[in-house]
Amino acid sequence: MIKPLAHVLTMLALLALTACSTPRPANEGDVQKLAIEIQALGPEIDPQEAQRAARVAYAYTAQLAQEYQITDPPLIHNAKVNKGLRPRGLCWHWAEDIERRLRQENFETLTMHRAIANADNPFRIDHSTAIISRRGDSMYQGVILDPWRYGGELFWAPLAEDSRYEWVPREVVLEKRRLDQVARLAPLVIE
Protein backbone atom coordinates (compact mmCIF):
# COMPACT_ATOMS: atom_id res chain seq x y z
CA MET A 1 0.00 0.00 0.00
CA ILE A 2 2.87 2.40 0.72
CA LYS A 3 4.44 1.98 -2.70
CA PRO A 4 1.28 2.95 -4.68
CA LEU A 5 0.74 5.93 -2.37
CA ALA A 6 4.33 7.10 -2.89
CA HIS A 7 3.88 6.68 -6.65
CA VAL A 8 0.67 8.74 -6.60
CA LEU A 9 2.31 11.47 -4.51
CA THR A 10 5.30 11.57 -6.87
CA MET A 11 3.01 11.85 -9.89
CA LEU A 12 0.98 14.63 -8.25
CA ALA A 13 4.18 16.54 -7.42
CA LEU A 14 5.41 16.22 -11.03
CA LEU A 15 2.01 17.29 -12.34
CA ALA A 16 2.04 20.34 -10.07
CA LEU A 17 5.52 21.28 -11.28
CA THR A 18 4.49 20.90 -14.91
CA ALA A 19 1.23 22.79 -14.45
CA CYS A 20 3.12 25.75 -12.97
CA SER A 21 5.69 25.79 -15.72
CA THR A 22 3.79 27.18 -18.68
CA PRO A 23 4.96 30.78 -19.07
CA ARG A 24 2.36 33.41 -18.18
CA PRO A 25 1.90 35.96 -20.95
CA ALA A 26 3.00 39.48 -20.07
CA ASN A 27 0.43 42.21 -19.79
CA GLU A 28 0.74 45.93 -20.38
CA GLY A 29 1.21 46.52 -16.64
CA ASP A 30 4.26 44.23 -16.60
CA VAL A 31 5.78 46.08 -19.54
CA GLN A 32 5.11 49.48 -17.96
CA LYS A 33 6.69 48.46 -14.63
CA LEU A 34 9.86 47.34 -16.40
CA ALA A 35 9.91 50.52 -18.52
CA ILE A 36 9.65 52.62 -15.33
CA GLU A 37 12.52 50.64 -13.73
CA ILE A 38 14.71 51.13 -16.80
CA GLN A 39 13.81 54.83 -16.93
CA ALA A 40 14.81 55.11 -13.25
CA LEU A 41 18.39 54.13 -14.14
CA GLY A 42 19.07 57.81 -14.70
CA PRO A 43 17.72 61.10 -16.00
CA GLU A 44 19.67 60.65 -19.25
CA ILE A 45 17.61 57.59 -20.23
CA ASP A 46 15.41 58.29 -23.23
CA PRO A 47 11.84 57.40 -22.11
CA GLN A 48 11.07 55.99 -25.56
CA GLU A 49 14.15 53.75 -25.35
CA ALA A 50 13.10 52.53 -21.89
CA GLN A 51 9.63 51.77 -23.22
CA ARG A 52 11.01 50.01 -26.31
CA ALA A 53 13.49 47.96 -24.25
CA ALA A 54 10.72 46.78 -21.93
CA ARG A 55 8.42 45.85 -24.83
CA VAL A 56 11.17 43.99 -26.67
CA ALA A 57 12.29 42.16 -23.50
CA TYR A 58 8.79 40.86 -22.81
CA ALA A 59 7.83 40.15 -26.43
CA TYR A 60 11.09 38.40 -27.22
CA THR A 61 10.89 36.32 -24.05
CA ALA A 62 7.46 35.09 -25.18
CA GLN A 63 8.78 34.37 -28.68
CA LEU A 64 11.77 32.44 -27.33
CA ALA A 65 9.55 30.44 -24.95
CA GLN A 66 7.67 29.19 -28.01
CA GLU A 67 10.82 28.59 -30.06
CA TYR A 68 12.49 26.76 -27.17
CA GLN A 69 9.29 24.72 -26.62
CA ILE A 70 9.13 25.58 -22.92
CA THR A 71 6.70 23.26 -21.14
CA ASP A 72 8.65 22.45 -17.98
CA PRO A 73 10.45 24.17 -15.11
CA PRO A 74 13.98 25.33 -15.99
CA LEU A 75 15.99 22.40 -14.66
CA ILE A 76 13.75 19.83 -16.33
CA HIS A 77 13.93 21.81 -19.57
CA ASN A 78 17.73 21.91 -19.22
CA ALA A 79 17.78 18.12 -19.03
CA LYS A 80 15.67 17.93 -22.19
CA VAL A 81 18.02 20.31 -24.02
CA ASN A 82 21.05 18.32 -22.87
CA LYS A 83 19.43 15.09 -24.13
CA GLY A 84 18.61 16.71 -27.48
CA LEU A 85 14.84 16.71 -26.88
CA ARG A 86 14.56 20.52 -27.04
CA PRO A 87 16.45 22.90 -29.35
CA ARG A 88 17.57 25.54 -26.85
CA GLY A 89 16.63 26.99 -23.48
CA LEU A 90 19.66 26.74 -21.20
CA CYS A 91 20.19 29.95 -19.24
CA TRP A 92 23.07 31.05 -21.46
CA HIS A 93 20.84 30.59 -24.55
CA TRP A 94 18.27 32.95 -23.04
CA ALA A 95 20.96 35.46 -22.04
CA GLU A 96 22.70 35.31 -25.42
CA ASP A 97 19.48 35.61 -27.42
CA ILE A 98 17.89 38.42 -25.41
CA GLU A 99 21.16 40.37 -25.35
CA ARG A 100 21.53 39.99 -29.13
CA ARG A 101 17.93 41.07 -29.74
CA LEU A 102 18.18 44.14 -27.50
CA ARG A 103 21.50 45.17 -29.08
CA GLN A 104 19.69 45.26 -32.44
CA GLU A 105 17.71 48.23 -31.11
CA ASN A 106 20.89 50.38 -31.22
CA PHE A 107 20.00 52.21 -28.04
CA GLU A 108 21.77 55.52 -27.49
CA THR A 109 21.12 55.82 -23.75
CA LEU A 110 21.13 52.12 -22.77
CA THR A 111 23.68 49.32 -23.02
CA MET A 112 23.74 45.57 -22.49
CA HIS A 113 25.93 43.41 -20.26
CA ARG A 114 26.24 39.70 -19.52
CA ALA A 115 26.86 38.12 -16.12
CA ILE A 116 27.35 34.67 -14.63
CA ALA A 117 26.59 33.48 -11.11
CA ASN A 118 27.76 30.35 -9.27
CA ALA A 119 30.86 29.90 -11.46
CA ASP A 120 32.99 29.12 -8.39
CA ASN A 121 30.35 27.06 -6.57
CA PRO A 122 30.75 23.31 -7.21
CA PHE A 123 27.35 22.60 -5.61
CA ARG A 124 25.30 24.82 -7.94
CA ILE A 125 25.12 25.10 -11.71
CA ASP A 126 26.35 28.24 -13.42
CA HIS A 127 23.63 30.71 -14.25
CA SER A 128 23.89 33.32 -17.01
CA THR A 129 21.82 36.44 -17.51
CA ALA A 130 21.60 39.65 -19.51
CA ILE A 131 21.61 43.04 -17.82
CA ILE A 132 20.54 46.41 -19.19
CA SER A 133 22.00 49.62 -17.82
CA ARG A 134 22.41 53.28 -18.58
CA ARG A 135 25.13 53.79 -21.20
CA GLY A 136 28.42 54.27 -19.40
CA ASP A 137 27.34 52.47 -16.21
CA SER A 138 28.59 49.07 -15.18
CA MET A 139 26.33 46.07 -14.96
CA TYR A 140 26.13 46.61 -11.20
CA GLN A 141 23.92 49.67 -11.76
CA GLY A 142 21.69 47.78 -14.20
CA VAL A 143 18.51 45.73 -14.31
CA ILE A 144 18.68 41.95 -14.68
CA LEU A 145 16.63 40.46 -17.53
CA ASP A 146 16.35 36.74 -16.71
CA PRO A 147 13.76 34.72 -18.68
CA TRP A 148 15.30 31.38 -17.63
CA ARG A 149 14.70 31.69 -13.88
CA TYR A 150 10.95 31.11 -14.11
CA GLY A 151 10.87 28.99 -17.24
CA GLY A 152 10.09 31.53 -19.93
CA GLU A 153 8.49 34.17 -17.73
CA LEU A 154 10.67 37.28 -17.59
CA PHE A 155 12.18 37.96 -14.18
CA TRP A 156 13.70 41.40 -13.79
CA ALA A 157 15.09 43.38 -10.89
CA PRO A 158 17.85 45.86 -10.20
CA LEU A 159 21.01 43.80 -9.84
CA ALA A 160 21.60 45.20 -6.36
CA GLU A 161 18.23 43.77 -5.22
CA ASP A 162 18.77 40.24 -6.58
CA SER A 163 19.72 38.36 -3.41
CA ARG A 164 19.34 34.96 -5.09
CA TYR A 165 22.55 35.23 -7.12
CA GLU A 166 25.96 36.84 -6.80
CA TRP A 167 26.57 38.12 -10.34
CA VAL A 168 30.05 38.46 -11.85
CA PRO A 169 30.78 40.03 -15.26
CA ARG A 170 30.84 37.27 -17.88
CA GLU A 171 34.22 38.34 -19.23
CA VAL A 172 35.77 38.00 -15.73
CA VAL A 173 34.42 34.45 -15.34
CA LEU A 174 35.55 33.40 -18.83
CA GLU A 175 39.04 34.86 -18.32
CA LYS A 176 39.40 33.03 -15.00
CA ARG A 177 38.38 29.78 -16.69
CA ARG A 178 40.89 30.39 -19.47
CA LEU A 179 43.69 31.00 -16.97
CA ASP A 180 42.69 27.90 -14.98
CA GLN A 181 42.83 25.83 -18.15
CA VAL A 182 46.26 27.22 -19.06
CA ALA A 183 47.49 26.40 -15.53
CA ARG A 184 46.19 22.82 -15.83
CA LEU A 185 47.85 22.35 -19.22
CA ALA A 186 51.17 24.00 -18.28
CA PRO A 187 52.64 20.92 -16.54
CA LEU A 188 51.85 18.86 -19.67
CA VAL A 189 53.77 21.28 -21.88
CA ILE A 190 56.84 21.29 -19.63
CA GLU A 191 57.17 17.49 -19.54
Quick: pLDDT tens for 124-150: 889 999 999 999 999 999 999 999 999
pLDDT range class, residue 8, cuts 50, 70, 90: very low
The average confidence (pLDDT) of the chain is 88
pLDDT at site 89: 97
pLDDT at site 19: 44
51 or 189: which carries more pLDDT confidence?
51
Residue 124, C-beta contacts closer than 8 angstroms, at least 6 positions apart: 118
Q: Cα separation of 163 and 73, whole Å?
A: 21
Kindly report, residue by residue over 144-190, the tens digit of the pLDDT: 999 999 999 999 999 999 999 999 999 999 999 898 788 888 666 55
| CA distances (Å), origin 34, targets 118, 141, 148 | 26, 15, 17
Cα within 13 Å of Cα(133), Cβ side: 17
User: Is the CB of residue 151 less than 8 Å from the CB of residue 77?
Assistant: yes
